[in-house]
Structure 1
């Protein structure tokens, strides 16, 4: 066996350990290619976000193998700073892959029939580029590094020509995804405001987008763009290259959320749809499973009815919004992500639901799917499946400034609900795939831990501490034992992610507890 065959065999053998993607052949019921997916989409895709939680290369290959086994033929890679740039090495971070790793991964995916499309943000969401002062002249704002100035067209064109050419060297796809979504600073600079006064905000966006799309076409590739801003400003559709593809991302809202959806459908451009399995309000402490199931159930068949050529499941590791850390009034030294989400390894159930939704022209039957999946994957009977679903979807509400997003519910009541969910998970006894099942229990226990912290914090904000003493509140926090959760988290994730990443996840997740406990212990000294 040569080296490559040996490595591929190793990765294949690591599948159950790395991602525990235990969807069985009987559940999948797949054959091959287009026949497997029935009368579905030509482009059947998945999006991987590596802005945080950069997966080890064996885990990436294992996941690609699982996607291929279930009929996925397109993988959009949001490499961000994990990509090994050549001319712009300052952009790459400590977890950047080598160029040989990227090329080998793309070749492996090619062998599986998966087209790897690089996603290179080129307008908004470019903090990872603009944070470096080499690119300071491209910024729309010197204290918010999220967006380029669209009037610095020559500088931006030079930069992204370099980056696109770099990606073309390592990828074989006919496409480059250039981003273009959530341009929150559109019209922020003085120059941008002056152009808006002359021609409008839509042209400010559309002219820059046109330059990027034409650049991609000149390099022999087709540009892909998120559709939200163009929907908001329909004149942005004007004069773009006919090769442009728009991706209509919809995470469970009406079609006209961003603008008149008819403008997109009738634009003449190729359109793909994009639901999500990790998005708002998900974070460390909350996963709204029912929302994502309903998103799959409704939007996948809706995209079919609209005649979309493709569908791409997105999976966001973070919101893409960052909180600047200033060393002085004018020097940002760090940009930590505001919201992080439980790793993709814990969402096999939703990944499998997406696979299932592509196999039939009918909308996903959520109840039937959950019962089938839990029977085949965990050995549950119907009664256990119902308990599982109840625990999984119980009270998925947020807490903001001491208030629960559900009217009339208190933080303490929400915490008690989370404790009940954890107890329900503990009652279930899977006969197989215990490692995959362990993710649900850990997520539930992390949520309970967080809500107890929030309940203590809420009492700390009451004039009389809710009748408690600082010492009593501190004791409640000490009983949480985050180190036990930290160990479980690392044990479940270490095959897919770097230990330093996992330690950082634990540190950030525990920050609120440590701050509260330090304050209470100071008061009781």
Structure 2
């Protein structure tokens, strides 16, 4: 049975800038592509790439410069030209690592060893959040919608002030969470009465209806229920949406995923996995009560799970998945027509990035295609067993083990053969790495290229290089010519 297309409501693409922040020109190209693919909004998570000023300037990234004020305005201008709404996402409770990692901000942590969660009892913490919100809103003229985050507020209730607060009869962590979020939302409504406020729903997903009603949160925010699984539980998800509706939250958002949700270090996404996630969301949309107003869906593309985690799939390798996800929502299924639209729009032969083949026609159809192809090729090479496990190779393990290497003791014939193999693999990898680096630097700052290569390539090349160095040392000692 086919699903109905996604109901009226925005299809918003998540632009996560807390890792691999694209150069401005590439962001412009991406917005153009997102629009062609059927998106009508951007959920922009600036984190430390926002040009905070004054006392908040220390929040700016140091690995690469934050975007300038003019660049932020430029992004908005391009989005507006495509009739795409920008919704800034400002974390106001959890995932505050980029703020609370600073020594001067450490006193605002819920517990000293958790850099992500703000202490909800300190007025200074609330003032910090207000200051961040003010600067972001002021740099988005005409802004109508704001996302205040509030997901994954780890260790909440573990701080000393929270323990004292919770010691009073009848209080619980859910109330503590809602108290802070309500304070933030009330502030926003006081300063910008017209503002629509969205928040992630996970911290109140299992909160009782009575607690939600008593908090007053219902009249202030619109929950965004996220689930990125290809096996999303439709019945439970519908039940959660119905619960929010029952407490007065008629306006509700969904959040799916096109990349950055398979595991914390995935390099190349699997399109079908994300298509399946969207098919499940279509079933949810078709099953909710008529009174529920689904305002839209955010198609998330996480670049890091959090501020201190590794990079997820870069945007170029995620574009076929994004295109397929959007077409699935538009058609209600990933039909042959939807697939054809993806391949035609991107100029590829397959919706799976690791099998997309050569492009045809205008290369600009798929901005970042050369980098995507280079990453897929290098990633495949890095996964070749003979290369990634060279040190554990029976031949190396048997004739040039750490014991042999430390004593410069082995057969010259074996040393020469092992040296030759290690050198061959390193040369092969280096050629592919050079292509990836060159293409990456067209789209991203050098810090991204360095991080990506150190994270994905160095664990494979470092053991090869060690063996190469050791064989070379042995050969010099034995006066063997290469």
- In the alignment, the residues of structure 1 paired with residue 154 and residue 146 of structure 2 have an alpha-carbon distance, to the nearest angstrom, of 22
Cα distance per residue 1:89-131 (max 9 Å; x no partner)? 1101232111122123324423432221211111111111111
Indicate yes or no: 2:171 matched with 1:192.
Answer: no
Indicate yes or no: 2:212 matched with 1:212.
Answer: no
Residue 273 of structure 1: how far off its partner (Å): 0.7
Indicate yes or no: 2:108 matched with 1:138.
Answer: yes
Partner of 2:49: 82
Indicate yes or no: 2:328 matched with 1:357.
Answer: yes
User: CA 1:215–1:457 in 2, change beyond 3 Å: closer, same or farther?
Assistant: farther
- In the alignment, the residues of structure 2 paired with residue 359 and residue 268 of structure 1 have an alpha-carbon distance, to the nearest angstrom, of 29
* Cα pair 2:327 2:342 within 8 Å, conserved: no
Partner of 2:338: 369
Which deviates the most, 201-210 or 497-506? 497-506
User: CA 1:224–1:375 in 2, change beyond 3 Å: closer, same or farther?
Assistant: closer
Cα distance per residue 1:1-60 (max 9 Å; x no partner)? xxxxxxxxxxxxxxxxxxxxxxxxxxxxxxxxxxxx987333221110000111122222
Indicate yes or no: 2:244 matched with 1:275.
Answer: no
Say which of 364, 370, 375 aligns to 1:443: 375
Which deviates the most, 286-295 or 85-94? 286-295
User: CA 1:357–1:517 in 2, change beyond 3 Å: closer, same or farther?
Assistant: same
Indicate yes or no: 2:318 matched with 1:347.
Answer: yes
Say which of 241, 249, 273 aligns to 1:291: 273
The equivalences for 1:60-459 within 5 A come to 60-87=27-54, 88-93=56-61, 94-152=64-122, 154-171=123-140, 172-198=142-168, 199-220=171-192, 221-234=195-208, 235-236=211-212, 238-240=215-217, 242-252=219-229, 253-255=232-234, 256=236, 260=240, 262-269=242-249, 270-282=251-263, 283=265, 285-303=267-285, 305-306=287-288, 307=292, 308-320=294-306, 322=308, 338-360=309-331, 362-365=332-335, 368-374=337-343, 377-378=346-347, 380=349, 385=350, 392=354, 428-432=357-361, 436=366, 438-439=370-371, 441-452=373-384, 456-457=388-389
- In the alignment, the residues of structure 2 paired with residue 219 and residue 473 of structure 1 have an alpha-carbon distance, to the nearest angstrom, of 69
User: CA 1:305–1:520 in 2, change beyond 3 Å: closer, same or farther?
Assistant: same
Cα distance per residue 1:341-370 (max 9 Å; x no partner)? 23212222222223323433x2333x5533
Cα distance per residue 1:404-431 (max 9 Å; x no partner)? xxxxxxxxxxxxxxxxxxxx77xx5544
Q: Which structure: larger Rg?
A: 2
* Cα pair 1:176 1:216 within 8 Å, conserved: no
- In the alignment, the residues of structure 2 paired with residue 281 and residue 176 of structure 1 have an alpha-carbon distance, to the nearest angstrom, of 27
- In the alignment, the residues of structure 2 paired with residue 185 and residue 56 of structure 1 have an alpha-carbon distance, to the nearest angstrom, of 35
* Cα pair 2:6 2:285 within 8 Å, conserved: no
User: CA 1:281–1:450 in 2, change beyond 3 Å: closer, same or farther?
Assistant: farther
Residue 259 of structure 1: how far off its partner (Å): 8.8
Q: Which runs of 5+ in 2 are unaligned?
A: 402-414, 474-482
Indicate yes or no: 2:464 matched with 1:517.
Answer: yes
Cα distance per residue 1:113-170 (max 9 Å; x no partner)? 2221211111111111111122111112323311111222x11211111111111211
Residue 486 of structure 1: how far off its partner (Å): 2.3
Which deviates the most, 211-220 or 188-197? 188-197
Secondary structure, counterpart of 1:287 in structure 2: coil
TM-score, normalization by structure 2: 0.78
- In the alignment, the residues of structure 2 paired with residue 266 and residue 43 of structure 1 have an alpha-carbon distance, to the nearest angstrom, of 23
- In the alignment, the residues of structure 1 paired with residue 341 and residue 38 of structure 2 have an alpha-carbon distance, to the nearest angstrom, of 19
Secondary structure, counterpart of 2:13 in structure 1: strand
Partner of 1:53: 20
Residue 175 of structure 1: how far off its partner (Å): 1.9
- In the alignment, the residues of structure 2 paired with residue 197 and residue 223 of structure 1 have an alpha-carbon distance, to the nearest angstrom, of 31
Residue 469 of structure 1: how far off its partner (Å): 3.8
- In the alignment, the residues of structure 1 paired with residue 26 and residue 14 of structure 2 have an alpha-carbon distance, to the nearest angstrom, of 15
- In the alignment, the residues of structure 1 paired with residue 307 and residue 27 of structure 2 have an alpha-carbon distance, to the nearest angstrom, of 25
User: CA 1:38–1:461 in 2, change beyond 3 Å: closer, same or farther?
Assistant: closer
- In the alignment, the residues of structure 2 paired with residue 376 and residue 112 of structure 1 have an alpha-carbon distance, to the nearest angstrom, of 17
Q: Which runs of 5+ in 1 are unaligned?
A: 1-36, 323-337, 393-423
TM-score, normalization by structure 1: 0.72
- In the alignment, the residues of structure 1 paired with residue 223 and residue 33 of structure 2 have an alpha-carbon distance, to the nearest angstrom, of 26
Secondary structure, counterpart of 1:144 in structure 2: coil
* Cα pair 1:226 1:249 within 8 Å, conserved: yes
* Cα pair 1:345 1:493 within 8 Å, conserved: no
Which deviates the most, 483-492 or 41-50? 483-492
- In the alignment, the residues of structure 2 paired with residue 289 and residue 341 of structure 1 have an alpha-carbon distance, to the nearest angstrom, of 15
- In the alignment, the residues of structure 2 paired with residue 318 and residue 298 of structure 1 have an alpha-carbon distance, to the nearest angstrom, of 24
